Amino acid sequence: MKAFKGPVVVGGGAAGLAACLTLEAAGQRPTLLEAADVLGGRLATDRLPDGTPVDRGFQVLQSAYPELNRWVDFDALDCIAFVPGARVHLNGRWHTLADPRRAPGLLFATVFSGIGSWSDRIKVLRLVHALRRTRPDDIQQGRFGMDRASAALWSQRSTADFLEAWGFSPAFVGDFLGPFFAGIFLEGALETPAAQFQYTFKMLSEGPVLKPRQGMSALVAHLQDQLKQTDIHVGCRIDAVNGKALQVDGTERPLNDSAIVTVPGLHPEFVVDQWNACLNVVFQTHAAPFGRSLIGLLPGVQSVTNFHFMADVEGGIGENRINVTALYPAGAKEEEVLLRMRSELGAAGIDCGDVVWRARIDQALPRLKSVGPAAMPNDIEGVYFAGDGAFAPSLDGALRAGRLAAEAWLKGHAHH
Ligand SMILES: Cc1cc2nc3c(=O)[nH]c(=O)nc-3n(C[C@H](O)[C@H](O)[C@H](O)COP(=O)(O)OP(=O)(O)OC[C@H]3O[C@@H](n4cnc5c(N)ncnc54)[C@H](O)[C@@H]3O)c2cc1C
C-alpha cells in the first residue's frame, strides 16, 4: 500500500491543528488523519433547538494563553468576555466576587469582596506578582518556588500541596480557590500538579477570559481556515502507530516520514490511564440571571463545579436556562449525578426544571502525574507525541504539545 505524503498527523483536535499549522509554516505539506467526521475533538459545539450554541463541555479561552495568541485573531473570532470574578453561594447568601471597575484581566487581584482573610488577599497579590515575574516555560518546568532554596518540583506535586505551602487559609481554599479550580481541573481534590495551577492562575490574572459567541467550534473553524497545504482526511480511524507504519482498518500503511500522534493509546509508550470526567447539563429554570456574565460557584457541594445563566453569557432566545457542570466520578450513574445537581442548586435557591440538553464527557481532561516537558518525551523511535495528554491538561497545553512535536519533527528531518 502507498505511503502517505509528507509528515502524518494523527488526530485533528487542537494539538493536531497546531502541529499542522507549525509544519505548514515551515513549508511542509502534512497529512492530517481524523477519526470523526469533523475536526476539533474536544472543541465541539452543539445547538439547542432554538439555535443557541452550547459547547460540549463548558469551556473558555484564557486570552493570555501564549499558544492561542500565536494562532488566533481574537477580534475576528468574535468573543464574549466574562466578568472577572464569580458569584459564590456561602452561608445562605450570594456573594459577588468581582470589581468591574478594574481591568478585566485582573481576576485574582479583584476577587476580594468578603471572602478570605486580609492575609489571604495579600497572599493572592504576592502570588499574582511572583507569577507575573516568572516565565511560562519556567512554571511548566516546575521551577516556580517560594524562593530559590526551596524550589520544589511543582510540575509533580499537587495543587493542594502548593496552596498550603503558599499559606492560604483552609477557609479561602474551601470557599473560593478550591471550588473555582475544581471547575477548571474537573476534579475536587486538587490533585492536579501545582505547575498547572500556577500556569492557569498566571493566565487568569494576565488577560480576560473569553468565549467565542458561536462556541468553540468557531475556534476550530478559525484554525482550520489557516491550513492551506494540509491534506485532511476525516472519518479515518487509526488503530496503531509505530515508527514505520500506521494500522488503518486492519491494514498496514507504511510511513515515509514518521508520524505525530496526538491521541493516547495508539502507541505503547503514550497512554493516559485516568481521565477527569464531567456531566454538562442545560436545565430550564425560573431563577433570575445574575445580569452579568459571571460564573456561579457552590462551595462545599459534591457535584456541581460551576454554572452560568445562559441569558448572561450565551444570549439566545428565552432567558430561562442554566448551564451547569458537575464532576462525574468513575463508576457514577448519570441519573444520580443529575439528581445531585438538582438538589445542590435547589439548596442555593435555584430550581432546575426540564433537561434541555446534556453531554457527558468521560475523557474530559487527562489526569497527569506531571505536566510540561516532564510529562512525556517528544519522540520515541521516530514517533512524535502531542495532545494535552502529552503535556498539560488544557487548550494551551494541547496547542503547545502540537507545536513542540511539529518542531521536533522538523528538527529531526532538517537534512531531508
Ligand atoms: C468539559 C471540558 C472543559 C474544558 N475546559 C477548558 C478550559 O476552560 N480551558 C482550557 O484551556 N482547556 C479546557 N479544556 C481542555 C481542552 O479542550 C483540551 O485540552 C483540548 O481540546 C485537547 O486537544 P487535543 O488535540 O489534545 O485532544 P482532542 O481534542 O481529544 O483531539 C483528539 C482528536 O483525535 C481524534 N481521534 C481519536 N482517536 C483517533 C484515532 N484512533 N484515529 C484518528 N483520530 C482519532 C479525535 O476524534 C479528536 O478529534 C476542557 C475540556 C473539556 C472536555
Tell me the average pLDDT across 66-85: 93
| Closest C-alpha to ligand 1, atom 46 | 41
Residue 244's pLDDT is: 87
Q: Is the pLDDT of residue 213 over 50?
A: yes
Average pLDDT over residues 177-188: 96
Q: Write down the pLDDT at residue 102.
A: 55
How many angstroms is it from 360 CA to the middle of ligand 1? 14
* Residue 260 CB-half CA count within 13 A: 37
Decide: 376 in ligand 1 pocket, CB within 6 A: no
Reply yes or no on whether the pLDDT at 146 is more than 60: no
- For the cut 80, the answer to whether the pLDDT of residue 318 exceeds it is no
Answer yes or no: is the C-beta of 35 below 6 A from any ligand 1 atom.
Answer: yes
Buried b (16+ CB within 10 A) or exposed e, 329-366: eeebeeeebbebbbebbeebebebeeebbebbbeebbb
Indicate if the pLDDT at residue 198 is higher than 60. yes
Grid cell locating 269: 509508550
Separation CA 301–CA 299 (nearest Å): 6
pLDDT of residue 344: 98
Residue 309, CB half-sphere, CA atoms under 13 Å: how many? 20
pLDDT confidence band for 259 (50 / 70 / 90)? very high
Q: Who has greater pLDDT, 416 or 97?
A: 97
User: Which ligand 1 atom lies nearest to the CA of residue 363?
Assistant: 53
Distance 395 CA to ligand 1 centre (A): 8
Cβ 246 vs Cβ 259: under 8 Å: yes
Assess contact for 98 and 296: CB atoms under 8 A. no
Which of 3.50.50.60, 3.30.479.30, 1.20.1090.10, 3.40.190.80 is the CATH number of 8-44+216-272+370-412?
3.50.50.60
Q: Which amino acid is at 412?
A: G
Count other Cβ atoms within 10 Å, centred on residue 225. 9
Q: What is the pLDDT of residue 292?
A: 86
Q: Which of 196, 248, 394, 396 to mutate for ligand 1's pocket (most ligand atoms within 8 Å of CB)? A: 394
Distance (Å, rounded) from C-alpha 394 to C-alpha 387? Answer: 9
Q: What is the pLDDT of residue 1?
A: 61
Average pLDDT over the chain reads 91
- The secondary element (H helix, E strand) that includes residue 311 is helix 310-313
pLDDT band at 240; cut points 50, 70, 90 = very high
Reply yes or no on whether the pLDDT at 416 is more than 80.
no
Pocket test for ligand 1, best of 20, 42, 241 (most atoms within 8 A of CB): 42
Q: Are 371 and 397 a contacting pair, CB within 8 Å?
A: yes
Query: Ligand 1 pocket, 257 CB below 6 A?
Result: no
189 CB-near residues (< 8 Å, 6+ apart): 160
Q: For residue 33, which atom of ligand 1 is closest to its CA? A: 43
Q: How far apart are CA 289 and CA 269, in angstroms?
A: 48
pLDDT at 150: 52
Strands 352-366 and 238-241: unpaired
Q: Quick one: three-class SS letters along 160-206?
A: HHHHHHHCCCHHHHHHHHHHHHHHHHCCCCCCCEHHHHHHHHHHHHH
**Class for the domain spanning 46-80+274-366:** alpha beta
The rounded Å distance from CA 390 to ligand 1 centre is: 12
Q: Which residue has the higher pLDDT, 396 or 330?
A: 396
Binding site membership of 264 for ligand 1 (Cβ less than 6 Å): no
Q: Is 396 left (phi over 0), alpha (psi -120 to 50) or beta?
A: alpha
pLDDT in tens, 6-41: 899 999 999 999 999 999 999 999 999 999 999 999
Out of 140-154, 290-304, 350-364, 390-404, which region has the weakest mean confidence (pLDDT)?
A: 140-154
CA atoms within 13 Å, Cβ hemisphere of 81: 15
pTM: 0.95
Query: Residues 310-333: what's their mean pLDDT?
Result: 88
Crossing angle for the helix pair 178-185 and 194-206, to the nearest 10 degrees: 100
Name 128's Cβ contacts closer than 8 Å, sequence gap at least 6.
Answer: 106, 108, 109, 201, 205
Q: Does residue 366's CB lie within 6 angstroms of at least one atom of ligand 1? A: no
- In angstroms, the Cα distances linking 106 to 97, 102, 270 are 12, 7, 37
Distance 13 CA to ligand 1 centre (A): 6
* Interatomic CA distance for residues 252 and 3, integer angstroms: 10
Structure-block grid coordinates of residue 165? 505551602
Average pLDDT over residues 299-325: 90
What is the model's pLDDT at position 356? 96
Q: Indicate if the pLDDT at residue 149 is higher than 50.
A: no
pLDDT for position 153: 67
**140 touches ligand 1 (CB under 6 Å):** no
Asked if the model's pLDDT at residue 140 lies above 60, the reply is: yes
Say what the pLDDT of residue 122 is. 87
Tell me the CA–centroid distance for residue 34 and ligand 1, in Å: 12
Domain borders along the chain are: 8-44+216-272+370-412, 46-80+274-366, 97-207
Say how far apart CA 300 and CA 181 lie, in whole Å. Answer: 13
| Nearest to 132, CA basis, from 199, 61, 62 | 199
Which of 18-27, 92-101, 352-361 comes out lowest in average pLDDT?
92-101
Alpha helices, DSSP H, located in 209-275: 216-225
Q: What is the pLDDT of residues 337-347, one digit of tens each?
A: 999 999 999 99
Instruction: Give the number of the atom of ligand 1 that is nearest the alpha carbon of residue 36.
Output: 47
Instruction: Give pLDDT, residue 366.
Output: 98
CB of 63 sitting under 6 A from ligand 1:
no
* Residue 395 Cβ contacting ligand 1 at under 6 Å: yes
Kindly state the average pLDDT of the residues 178-188.
97
**Pick the residue with more confidence: 349 or 147?**
349
Ligand 1: which of 360, 395, 399, 400 to mutate, most ligand atoms within 8 Å of CB? 395
The pLDDT assigned to 121 comes to: 84
Distance CA 193, CA 131 (A): 16
361 ligand 1 Cβ < 6 A: yes
CA–centroid distance, 23 to ligand 1, in Å, is 20
Tell me how far the alpha carbon of residue 41 lies from the centroid of ligand 1, in angstroms. 5
User: What pLDDT score was predicted for residue 113?
Assistant: 59
pLDDT value of position 317:
65
